[in-house]
Amino acid sequence: MRRCLTHALVAVAMTAPLSALAQEDPNCPPGAWFCEEVEPPRDAGEPPPAAAPEEAPPAEALPPPPAPPRRQRAGRPAQPPVVIYQTPSGPPPQVIVVAPGATPPPRVIVRRMTPPVPPPPPKRRWRRQWGINLRMQGLMMGEEHGGAENAGMGGVGISLRYRPIPAFAFDVGADFLGGTDYNGYARTEVPLSLSGILFVNPRSRTQFYFTGGLHMSHAEVERPWSSAASGGTEFSPNTEYDYFGAHGGIGLEFRLSRRLALNIDALGFVRGRTDDGVVPEFTDPETGRTTDTSGGGLFRGGLSIYW
């Protein structure tokens, strides 16, 4: 009995130094059977120590944020859009593709790739034009107050045309007419005219215009006369007339090209004699009234050549 008690006291005496050694030895390997975790004593009113905050991982280690959801069409997988960034480093441009939801690289200028705007068409500048007008024409005369039934004249003409601006032109012309006049006599006549032409729509292919101006004319007429001695009717030498008057009308010019154009117009004119003739030219058989003033209508069609 004494021997057993002696052995127990020896074991307790040896265990106490080993526990103290384990607390004081900093090199005690963790998990060893002879090591023991001992917390230092603390006061009753002292709060437990707070746990040390964990260090945040670096920004480079963070995964990119998830891409925002995109609408998908039936049967087609959603594909992320491709965004092109161009840096101001000069040519050639640096192209960087950034996935949706990711942050673009710093110091990057975003530019939309748009096609270049085509240059505007060159403006057409008006150039002054000269032209020659060749025409055919017919003269219409009434039959009232004793006019001949077969009265009618026709002819040709030519004029030089100058168009300093698109909406206006000067026209200097000469014509030759022949036929039967109002009194039924054979007549030839050469009018000279100065006209102005006002184009209403000069930029159109079909141009409407007004025309008007002044003219002078010289005519020769074969008048019959009867002589008792001859016992019949004879024709006297040509009787000459000179006139001065005004004219005006409307017309259309059809542009075939920049150089060629067709035109039709209708003119009305009125004139009076300027020669020293004593015998009046017109006499009304019903009233006996006489006059040296005449008028009529002129229809023309021609071709204009511009340069």
Q: How many whole angstroms separate alpha carbon 162 and alpha carbon 181?
A: 33
How many domains does the chain divide into?
1
**Residue-wise burial string across 20-40, b where 16 or more C-beta atoms lie within 10 A, e elsewhere:** eeeeeeeeeeeeeeeeeeeee
Domain of residue 164, CATH code: 2.40.160.20
Cα separation, 181 vs 2, in Å, equals: 182
Residue 262 lies in domain: 129-306
Q: By C-alpha distance, which of 156, 155, 147 is closest to 178?
A: 155
Burial of 79 (0-12, 13-18, 19+ CB in 10 A): exposed
Q: Is residue 4 part of a domain?
A: no
Q: Burial code of 237-271, b = ≥16 C-beta within 10 A, e = fewer?
A: eebebebebebebebebebeeeeebebebebebeb
Is 107 inside any structural domain?
Answer: no
Q: Is residue 12 part of a domain?
A: no
Judge whether 251 lies within some domain. Answer: yes
Q: Where are the beta strands (DSSP E) in 29-70?
A: none
At which residue do the structure tokens 């917390």 appear?
A: 39
Domain assignment present for 5: no
Please, are residues 142 and 119 in contact by the beta-carbon 8 Å criterion?
no
In a domain, 16, yes or no: no
pTM higher than 0.75, yes or no? no
What is the distance between the alpha carbons of residues 157 and 285, in angstroms, rounded to a whole number?
A: 34
Low-confidence ranges of the chain (pLDDT < 50): 2, 4-6, 9-10, 12-13, 15-28, 31-38, 52-53, 59, 61
pLDDT confidence of residue 248: 97
Alpha-carbon torsion 6, 8, 14, 17, what sign?
negative
Which residues, including other chains, have CB under 8 Å from residue 227's CB and lie 6 or more apart? 234
Is position 261 within any domain? yes
pLDDT of residue 212: 97
For 123-259, list the strands marked E by DSSP: 129-140, 152-165, 168-180, 186-199, 206-222, 224-227, 232-235, 239-255
Lookup result for tokens 């009113």: 45
Rounded Cα distance between 189 and 148, Å, is: 18
Output phi, psi for 57, to 5 deg.
Answer: -65, 155
The answer to whether residue 61 sits within a structural domain is no
Q: What is the pLDDT of residue 218?
A: 96
State both tokens at 159: 């004029």
pLDDT at 138: 95
Give the model confidence (pLDDT) of 234-263 as tens digits: 555 678 999 999 999 999 999 999 899 999
